Amino acid sequence: MSDRLMKEKLAAGELVLCMNLRLARSVDIAMVAKAGGYDALYVDMQHAPYSIETTATICAAALGIGITPLVRVPNHEAQWMSRVLDGGAQGVILPDVNTRAEAETIVSACRFPPLGKRSVMGLGPALGYRAVPLAELNPKLNAETAVVVMLETAEGIENCEAIAAVDGLDVLLIGSGDLTTNLGIPGQVDHPRLRAAYERVAAACKKHKKALGVGGIRHNTGLQGELIRLGARFVIAGTDTNYVLAGARQDTAALRAIKLD
């Protein structure tokens, strides 16, 4: 773990560990994630009731302490991508990407011209509100912004090479929970069909110089290790909700095991 951007670590072939946020609502979680050894966090606007204001506040806090803030947006509408990026996110995670056309539309929404059509904001939290000439600002933010697309269906896996070939994408992240559900093997993360999907996407990522991501396989370091050896470099290692529950269950189990007189 270091203060370098996630994209810098990925470019160097290093492992990036990301924490999924669904429970936390205060800026303290950014410090907790960093103290816990994470490189990045992502605010989950898809599966948790985060407001845009709370999301931006957590992102700004993460920027200030040197941990990369990402946001999983609820859908592919361009306004979600631009608003979270303007609010301080250094990357977006897009759920349920199935085709090259969808990936191209996402890149267009997340990148400034000439790479895309993102609207220019000017001063903002991503650069600490420092005045930067527009000619420098747009290329700098394009370079520092991570675009992560999630493959969560058989269709997405089938089209993985075409998706990986899209310029402007950084990570192809397999959503293992949704993918196993779509494949008719819900939750069977050790199933050969899921492993075959990872192998297929890993090959596409290697060919097109994209990073492979692992999602939906938390607290299973054995399987995560296998996928890292396969080539994964972006790993969602845990969620704040599960960490709280694990600690709570450990303490209550220990206390309830005490024999009463």
Name residue 213's beta-bridge partners: 173, 234
List the domains of the chain with CATH numbers: 6-247 (3.20.20.60)
Could you list the beta-strand ranges (E) of 95-138: none
Nearest-CA neighbor of 67 among 95, 100, 39, 105? Answer: 39
Given this model, what pLDDT does residue 1 score?
44
Given this model, what pLDDT does residue 3 score?
62
Residues in the chain: 261
Instruction: Give the active site residues.
Output: 47
Is residue 140 a contact partner of residue 124, using CB atoms and an 8 Å limit? Answer: no
Given this model, what pLDDT does residue 233 score?
98
Token pair, residue 84, equals: 């979270």
Nearest-CA neighbor of 81 among 164, 140, 148? Answer: 148
- State how far Cα 189 lies from the chain centre: 19
Given this model, what pLDDT does residue 122 score?
75
Nearest-CA neighbor of 48 among 69, 82, 25, 28? Answer: 25
Per-10-residue mean pLDDT of the chain, 261 residues long, equals 79 97 96 96 97 97 95 97 96 98 98 94 83 88 96 98 98 97 96 97 98 92 94 96 95 96 81
Name residue 51's beta-bridge partners: none
